[in-house]
Amino acid sequence: MNQYLNSLQSEWMKTKRSAASWLVTGGAFFIPFIIILIRLIKQSTLPEAYRAPNFWQRNLAQNWQVMAFFLLPMGVILATSLITQSEYRNHTWKQLHATPQRYATIFFAKLTVIILMLLQFFILFNLGVFLSVLIPFLLLKNVSYPVAVFPWLFSLKTNATFFIDCLPVMAIQYLVGLQFKNFLVPLGIGIGMLTAATFAISWQYGYIIPYSYSLFNFLAMSAVKDKPVYAVNIHLVATAYFLAAIIAGYFLYVNKKNKC
């Protein structure tokens, strides 16, 4: 256990000033920033919107809209690939594998760092969502603080389901990123799968594509008509895909002939 914690600390130190960490921070605040700008430009409708009883739910949906469809899966694809590619780019796999650590320790420490970065993204995004409400309120005199009670349970459930839904994307990207030296391979596979998921959204078996769950989840919580209804719980399918990809990824990683 100590070895795992030491390895985790070591892996976390590598994210300092890394492209992946900038991506997490920048990506988390991007949509809220755009929404703040829109609100400041189109401020005439704000006083009424802030008074609406379902203001928080609408605000959350507005922020999640673009995030769920594109930025979240794309961000997970990029950040996960960047974490694994950092070792290839810096020629550090050989140094890492020449340290006295079990391969399982290295594999799970890296995986934990990616999951922690995903959590960090969710926390920063939620902070951004809150700032997208607070900043217009602080800057505009005619806008009052929302009267509606903040829906904690709804917010937590939304975050938790989106988090679960992007776990298979992360696990598959991790598996591919560990196997291929060329950054374009995990990136290409990720973009390809995401495109396939977008096309499969109206297909009754679209849930078999593991990159589609955040899209489905958003559609399920939105007011869109003709939203797809599946016979399965997509969050459970996402969890199953995540576990399967992690087991396969670990097996392939440990049995890799060349660990340089």
- For another protein, the binding residues (CB under 8 A) are 6-7, 9-11, 13-14, 16-19, 86, 89-102, 257-260
Closer residue to another protein (CB): 95 or 233: 95
Tell me the closest approach of the beta carbon of residue 115 to another protein, in angstroms. 19
Rounded distance between C-alpha atoms, residue 95 and residue 113, angstroms: 19
Q: How many residues does the chain have?
A: 260
Over its C-alpha atoms, the chain yields an Rg (Å, rounded) of 20
Q: What is the SS3 assignment for 203?
A: coil
The phi, psi pair for 221, rounded to 5°, reads -90, -5
79 close to 114: Cβ distance less than 8 angstroms: yes
Closer residue to another protein (CB): 99 or 233: 99
Strand (E) or helix (H) holding 165: helix 152-165
Closer residue to another protein (CB): 99 or 144: 99
Closer residue to another protein (CB): 100 or 223: 100
Rounded distance between C-alpha atoms, residue 199 and residue 195, angstroms: 6
Closer residue to another protein (CB): 113 or 200: 113
The phi, psi pair for 42, rounded to 5°, reads -100, 60
Tell me the closest approach of the beta carbon of residue 98 to another protein, in angstroms. 5
Strand (E) or helix (H) holding 184: helix 184-199
Tell me the closest approach of the beta carbon of residue 77 to another protein, in angstroms. 21
Token pair in block for residue 157 = 């459930």
